[in-house]
Amino acid sequence: MLKNYFNIAIAVLKRRKFFTFISLFVISFTLTILMVLTAFIDKVVNDNYPDKKRDRLLYINSMEERGENAMNGGSLSFYFLTHYAGSLKTPVKVAISSAYSGTNTYINNKKIAVNYKYTNDAYWEVLDYDFLEGKAFNRQQIANGEHVAVISEDLKKEYFGNVSSVVGQYIEADNVKYRVSGVVKNVPITNYMMYSDIYLPYTVSKSDYNENKTYRGGYIGILMAASKEDVPKMHEEYEQMISRLPMSSKEFNRIYSHADTFISGYVRTGNEEKSGVTIALTAIGIFVLLVMLLPTLNLVNINVTRIMERSSEIGVRKAFGASSQTLVYQFIVENLLLTLMGGLISIILSLTILYFINSAGFIANLTLSLNFTVLSISLLTCLVFGLLSGVYPAWRMSRLNVVTALKAS
């Protein structure tokens, strides 16, 4: 029986080429958008390079001081992260780094735009960068203020060309020469807390990291617990420390700062009443609903129109004893076949678009791919899409009266 449904569905789709084309276009275009979006979200959420110990880490990105008529917020100072966060008992390490900043470097009269950031020595112990050659600078080199640098693999290729090793060679950035101590695998710019082209010791910063004794500055921190079981305790200790901080000014009466998990920190909005995760999930849910709902409604209308054009066929089949259930099954099979075909086309389109995005380098160091999770979600979406857009038209078809259907023809 299923084979007959399939053969009839193929014949119907071939006979009505215009409707088939429109339906396939709507389905494949919608699913392509969803798959590319899912690939991007999957990369941001699930890619744990270089923070491979993510289940033991909490991220400190910002602080905000509020008063009745005043508000002051932003990144943290080096002093706060060493003096306050560094005094906590639960963390075994505190990684400190600045936000990345841009500058230019020149090689053979060619300008290269690069991003750099400053780090402490614990940064390289908390995070697990893949070193392609060399190693990170150590505590002694930082204390000595040595001009050493860790660079990304892309910068190595762009600055030095295709050479086997660059450890010990010098690279100039912001009119300062640094000796390369190591080369690491690229980090995508979407992981803004760890992304950079050049990593430098904080002691070579042109701004005095010890000068700013306030809470706010240009740094972010990562707390590492001895085990994942200690993370809740570490979080609670940080929250208690924040609640005891003295106000930096009389115009403020409350300080907000959080040691977050990766996702919570990534989507934190600064709204203390609403979770950033909730807002992000709601926004994504609404977007997916709209992307799915509008094409589904269009397909329902197209399918209803197809039913009206096939009223004579339906009437004849009913006159020869075909049950409403048989006709419903037939139409749902047709719709599922159509959506699966659209799904296959969307996979091809998605792979093409992802290849183009990766090749064009629109997002620095970001490589998107369709993994098995994304593919499974896409196929499931195809089935849901087919059912949503096929159930109502199939029900309408089953309700057609034989006489009415034959007269309409």
Residue 301 to residues 71, 296, 344, 392, 396, Cα–Cα distance (Å): 52, 9, 23, 10, 12
pTM: 0.75
DSSP of 269-285: -S-TTS-HHHHHHHHHH
Q: Taking 60 as the threshold, does the pLDDT of residue 27 lie above it? A: yes
Per-residue pLDDT band at 108 (split at 50, 70, 90): confident
Per-residue pLDDT band at 138 (split at 50, 70, 90): very high
Nearest residue to 192 via CA among 284, 59, 85, 91: 59
User: Residue 260 gets which letter from DSSP?
Assistant: B
pLDDT value of position 109: 80
**Contacts from 12-16 at CB under 8 Å and sequence distance 24+?**
12/310, 12/334, 13/334, 13/337, 13/338, 16/306, 16/309
pLDDT value of position 174: 79
Phi, psi of 255 (to 5 degrees): -120, 130
**Residues 173 and 105: beta-carbon distance below 8 Å:** yes
Per-residue pLDDT band at 277 (split at 50, 70, 90): low
pLDDT value of position 178: 95
Based on C-alpha coordinates, what's the Rg of the chain? Answer: 29
Task: List all residues 6 or more positions away from 317 whose beta carbon is below 8 Å from its beta carbon.
Answer: 327
How much is the mean pLDDT over the chain?
Answer: 80
Distance of alpha carbon 359 from alpha carbon 152, whole angstroms: 18
**pLDDT tens column, 64-81:** 888 877 777 788 999 999
**pLDDT tens column, 174-183:** 789 999 999 9
**Tokens found for residue 207:** 């701004």
**pLDDT tens column, 161-211:** 889 899 999 998 878 999 999 999 999 888 888 999 999 999 998 877 776
Domain range summary for the chain, segments of one domain joined by +: 2-47+277-408, 62-259
pLDDT value of position 374: 64
Q: Taking 80 as the threshold, does the pLDDT of residue 215 lie above it? A: yes
